[in-house]
Structure 1
Amino acid sequence: MTVPVIFNEALRAQRRDRAAGNFAAHDFLYAAMADAMLERLDDVTRAFESALVIGCPDRRLVDALAARGCSVTAADPGARFAQACGGDILREDALPYPPESFDLILCCGTLDTINDLPGALIALRRALRPDGLLLLTIIGAGSLARLKAALLAADGERPAQRIHPQIDVRALGDLLSRAGFTMPVADSDNLDVRYGSIFGLMADLRGMGAAQCLASPPPPLTRAGLSLAAAHFAQAADPDGRTRERFVVLHGSGWAPDPDQPRPARRGSATVSLAEALRPSRATET
């Protein structure tokens, strides 16, 4: 089966490399994802010995797992992020590790820009030992709605795809099950960020390595188009002049099959966690 080419892999890596120099100034989304992963790991009663961390723009996950006694391998699609953590450069759907290399894999914020997401999940499952755990976070459907609307308004009658395609929480649960994970769980969390202008949001996306990396890039906005987008974004502002943008963070988990596990959940049965759904959204200002 031919995998659709949605993302430019070289440009994806280039975006991450360019973000490496000043990532700490734009790390709020990665920090929220990483903290949520560690919180979920706290709920797991078993110990892990060998971990793989994919998505390491800083060392917070690597160091946190090492402090728990894990032997940690770091990896990233971007060379500069990988090198800064002493890790490997990789593609998630073509892992360079033998089967059953790890008993824990954390994949933080990268799988939303991989062409073969089902293949990547299968590769991650194969890299796990029996009864090994995968935790992942990605940006999901519903994210960047204000930015999307502003860009559509700027394009007028000839809209271009300028925001990456996004999957929803139910699709993530189904993909985990199809990839062979047992006890798959998918849920979501909202992170609201308030911006003084569209340009602050765009700067954050560039600064975190999340600028568009589509294989068929849209034509650049003209100066007039950019002004229209900025005006449309500003129209949605709160009374204090700041516009609220939402990042929908999807969390997924699954276990590599093992004969001693409970029977796996029926495919597609992963649902949004009620506790997570009732938890207040976090908000920041930029």
Structure 2
Amino acid sequence: MFSRAGPARALVRRPAHAHAPHLRLRQLATKIFDGTLKAHHRERAALAPDFGNYSYLHEEVARRLLDRLDDIHESYEFSDAVDLSCGPGHVRRLLDGRGVQRMLEFDSSGTMLALSATDAAGPNPPEFEVTQVQLRDGEEFPKLPKESADLIVSCMHMHWVNDLPGLLTSMRRALRPNGLFLAAMLGGDTLSEMRSSFVLADYERKGGVAKRMSPLATVSDCGALLQAAGFSLPTVDTDKVVVHYPDAWTLFHHLRAMGDSHAVLDRSASSQETLLAASAAYREMYGDAETGEIPATFQMIFLTGWAPHESMQKPMSPGSATVSLKDLSLPGVPGVLLPGEPPDEPPDEAPPQPFLTPSRRPGGPKEK
């Protein structure tokens, strides 16, 4: 039923917002996903001869994730790096030239590791050593030695992990002081169009909603988890990629070919009737009137956290301030009033300034 393959038309950036169903923190450490099934999905995808045609989303997310290193890699040394789920080697290739000397790659799929080791991942400098390790069945993340890495990267992997608190705590311990954890995962707004279409199809036919899509974490969940794991300067931000497909069947096929099929333990099988109804609802609600194409939104959540170091700034303890804010409210300071002080007379209104056109910008050519 997923045999209609077709090209994805474009990657389009859209502003991020959060409103989809999501996980609560108390759910994040429970067993939701079938790790063995997900490893099978990745192996099946990697074995396909045309797998490279379907890795566009993972490559785009890896590029946006590692762009965050451009402003900091010259100030910090990340000699030893770890990729928690390397896939076909996007992170390895994009890390070229960013100071990494040794790379440790993990993946649940042996074929994915083999793809990363081929020239398809791109050339690496001679001093770039790569060691590969396949995760054991049921192992969600590696147990790394304490303070053994300068940089740990997780790209499009954490949204399939059951024990997110355990992963983050383990990675923080594995980082050397001032080491960096950098991750990208799918967020709760991902495939919101598909979610709505399946909800409508199920309600019309069964009067209820079945578990047909994976639950995903939100920005607030991720921020709280980074803090709970002990990271310093935790940062979470989002971005969106919108991909246009000819129809819902093509989208279903691409998700399967990427290795991102549904992998919830308590999942419901989708009948042909339900898929047809969801596809029709998808086109009716979101299809382009002219081209008939449908959009698929992928929300990316980017997580950044540093291993604590003595050089980092620390918040002051309560009551340690030596200056009161009221001491800064001095008479005669514009915009600041002491109790009982009359307001100043409003200044004369300045004439409106013209817009800065190219010919009137500072330093530009003068108007004749």
Give the TM interval when normalised to the shorter protein: 0.7 to 0.9
- 8 Å contact kept, 2:150–2:176: yes
Q: Of 135, 147, 159, which residue of structure 2 is paired with 1:112?
A: 159
Deviations 1:211-242 (A, max 9, x none): 01111121x22222111111001112012211
| Identity in percent | 31
The Cα shift of 1:80 comes to 2.0
The Cα shift of 1:93 comes to 5.4
1:166 paired to 2:216: yes
CA distance in 1, matches of 2:76, 2:259: 34
- 8 Å contact kept, 2:63–2:94: no
Match of 1:271 in 2: none
Q: Of 207, 222, 227, which residue of structure 1 is paired with 2:271?
A: 222
The Cα shift of 1:30 comes to 0.7
Q: Of 77, 88, 91, which residue of structure 1 is paired with 2:133?
A: 88
- 8 Å contact kept, 1:134–1:253: yes
CA distance in 2, matches of 1:176, 1:93: 18
CA distance in 2, matches of 1:162, 1:131: 41
The Cα shift of 1:94 comes to 4.6
- 8 Å contact kept, 1:92–1:114: no
CA distance in 2, matches of 1:92, 1:41: 28
CA distance in 1, matches of 2:70, 2:36: 36
1:203 paired to 2:234: no
Structure-to-structure mapping, 1:21-40, within 5 angstroms = 21=48, 22-40=50-68
| Secondary structure at 1:130 match in 2 | strand
More helix by share: 1
Structure-to-structure mapping, 1:1-286, within 5 angstroms = 3-20=29-46, 21=48, 22-44=50-72, 45-70=75-100, 71-85=102-116, 87-90=132-135, 94-156=141-203, 157-218=207-268, 220-235=269-284, 236-239=286-289, 240-263=291-314
| Secondary structure at 1:85 match in 2 | helix
Could you tell me the TM-score, scaled by structure 1's length? 0.87
**Which segment drifts farther, 66-75 or 241-250?**
66-75
More strand by share: 1
- 8 Å contact kept, 2:177–2:307: yes
Match of 1:282 in 2: none
CA distance in 2, matches of 1:188, 1:142: 10
The Cα shift of 1:197 comes to 0.8
Please say which structure displays the higher CA radius of gyration: 2
Relative distance call for 1:260 and 1:148 in structure 2 (3 A) is same
Could you tell me the TM-score, scaled by structure 2's length? 0.68
The letter for the 2-side match of 1:128 is L
CA distance in 1, matches of 2:280, 2:57: 25
CA distance in 2, matches of 1:203, 1:262: 49
CA distance in 1, matches of 2:54, 2:266: 26
The Cα shift of 1:96 comes to 3.3
The letter for the 1-side match of 2:272 is R
| Secondary structure at 2:216 match in 1 | coil
- 8 Å contact kept, 1:147–1:233: yes
Q: How many residues align?
A: 264
- 8 Å contact kept, 1:50–1:103: yes
> Which consecutive residues of structure 2, in runs of 5 or more, have no partner in the other structure?
1-25, 118-131, 317-368
The letter for the 1-side match of 2:83 is V
Relative distance call for 1:11 and 1:93 in structure 2 (3 A) is closer
Relative distance call for 1:26 and 1:93 in structure 2 (3 A) is closer
- 8 Å contact kept, 1:48–1:103: yes
